Amino acid sequence: MDGIDVSVWAEIEKAEKENRRELVLQGANTDKRIQSSGGLSSKLYSLTLLNYLEISQCPSLTEINEDIGNLIHLQSLILCRNKITSVPKSIGKLKCLKVLDVSVNELQGIPEEVSQLSELNTLNVSCNSITSLPNGLSQCVKLSTINVSKNGLAALPDDLFSEKLELLSTIVASENAIEELSTDISNLSAIKVLDLSSNKLSELPSELGDCPKLKEINFKGNKLKDKRLEKMVNGCQTKSVLDYLRAGGRGKGKGKGQSEAGEKGDAAGGAARNTPKKKGGARQKNRNQDDDVDELDKLVLKVLHVSDSDSATSVTVKVSAEVKDVRPYIVCCIVRGMNLHSGNSLKRFLVAQTKLHDDLCARRTTATIATHDLKLLKAPLLYDARTPDTLKIAPLGRKEMKAVDLLKQLQQEADEQRKQKKRQNVSGLHKYLQLLDGKSHYPCLVDAEGHVISFPPITNSDKTKIQKSTRELFLEVTSSNCLQTCKDVMDALITKMAELNKFTFDNKEADGSDGEAESEPAPAEGNGPAGPELTVLQVRIVDMDGNLKVVYPSKTDLTAEACSNLRVIR
């Protein structure tokens, strides 16, 4: 692709001049420049300091130059919603790449060189025309999430089920033509989410029951031979499906009681099989019960079921249609019992949140966390997308202003930082400015009084800022990548909160005080937490018509093996 007048590509010129680490080229204006100049500027491939590159929503973009391999420091490469027909083999040179998103394009396949990306943890090739995946994906030993939905796959490669992929937790392969699920699925010790809905499966392997962390499965839209199993699948009964397969249902694998007879014959056959083993079965049942009791003794995890009318679960978030193409995914919940008053507990919590942003959220490129004082916001909430000149927020530590003015101010501060420190890196909110480049609308969370309380991925509102006196927190995680990313980040955040709360409680018990300075007012009597246990309450995310989109925590979130000192109300 030939280079074009640099003045047309001001973003690239600016990134080169200021040694930027992030660059976003997106939307109609970018698409027009690509169309008029016959492609992207060749200067793009000389920005070797980039660690985040996004080129999206450009129907005129049909190819990426082999020179993409020059960007050896890239950690995130987002090329979604274009019309790219092939991924260059030089992709294999990006040894630091952690996130590769080439969803919603016109790809027929992806090169085997992808298997050379040893740091890759997220691969999204959904909504293309891919008919087969390359072998060698087992070499991507840090792979955590793979999304191959809405393609033309007849099978998943065998080495996707390798024991080497011990971090692989999510496989989304819905709306393909997959005819069989490998019995080696049990090799994936970390698998939590498995979606093979709307494929051509006729049987399910009993080895699914051997996946210790599997909590969410979806096999709807497959014509299974076992109609009893199909009924469970269509009823979203994950536990029932797994129990049925473990008990020798007619799923394929390990020869566990396969039969083509009807349900009546299956029941009779099951009774005949169990009769001579009654005594041993009883022993096994008692053994399982003892194991369950031991497991519960190790954990302080309580799950309560409450009605929808319970006042504690009255907070809902409506999602407008406008966020679909901006930042579509959000999960929220309420946490009670967090002690932020004692000692440095608030500071430790904020440091932990920053660390999650830098690590798990990849510097806010995959997800963004926001925390609020629940008593300072008015429900119901609206998750919306607004133009920079209509979105108004009072950012943390600043007066209320329009988003366009806030970003201009932050950019000026960033430029001043670079001059004063004589280096290209900037700190604080300034390092996230590039994540909004090219966007015509910005996501925001708005309360019932019309106040914008969150502007991801940049900042929260000062109006709902958490303080030492905060007793109930409203937590929010948003992402432009996928819903499961939001849930994983929220799981990690709450687990960390439980750990910090226990640390605070143990230290307080040890020295017999809360460690506060005398000038610091104590919480009102009866308002402080009596112990380290946190209570997590669900928040429902609905569309503008009130139809449920997602609820957190659901039955598959915050599982027992992942957390302690929690009481979860579902």
Q: What is the pTM of this model?
A: 0.55
Q: What is the C-alpha separation between 250 and 230, in angstroms, rounded?
A: 11
DSSP type of residue 522: P
Percent of the chain having pLDDT more than 90?
46
Handedness of CA 376, 378, 383, 384 (dihedral sign): negative
Q: What is the C-alpha separation between 379 and 375, in angstroms, rounded?
A: 10
- Band the pLDDT of 301: cuts 50, 70, 90: very low
For residue 9, give every residue at least 6 positions away whose Cβ sits within 8 Å of its Cβ, in sequence order, or none: 33, 41, 43, 44
pLDDT of residue 325: 83
**269, pLDDT greater than 80:** no
Domains delineated in the chain:
1-96 (no CATH), 131-258 (3.80.10.10), 302-384+443-516+527-536+543-564 (3.50.40.10)
**125, pLDDT greater than 80:** yes
Task: Say which amino acid occupies 135.
Answer: N
The token duo for 346 is: 């608030």
Catalogue the E-assigned strands of 278-403: 301-304, 316-319, 329-336, 368-373, 381-386, 392-393, 401-402
Helix (H, G, I), strand (E, B) or coil at 201: coil
Phi and psi at 249, nearest 5°, equal: -65, 175
DSSP type of residue 75: S
The answer to whether 455 touches 400, Cβ cutoff 8 Å, is: no
The answer to whether 119 touches 99, Cβ cutoff 8 Å, is: no
pLDDT of residue 559: 66
The token duo for 347 is: 């500071």
* pLDDT per position as a tens digit, 239-260: 888 888 888 764 343 333 333 3
Q: What is the C-alpha separation between 231 and 470, in angstroms, rounded?
A: 47
- Please name every residue paired with 370 in a beta bridge, in sequence order, or none if there are none: 476
The token duo for 482 is: 């996928």
**316, pLDDT greater than 70:** yes
The token duo for 259 is: 């039969």
Angle, vertex CA 333, rays to CA 514 and CA 338, nearest 5 = 5
The token duo for 358 is: 């830098």
- The arithmetic mean of pLDDT across residues 443-448, rounded, is 94
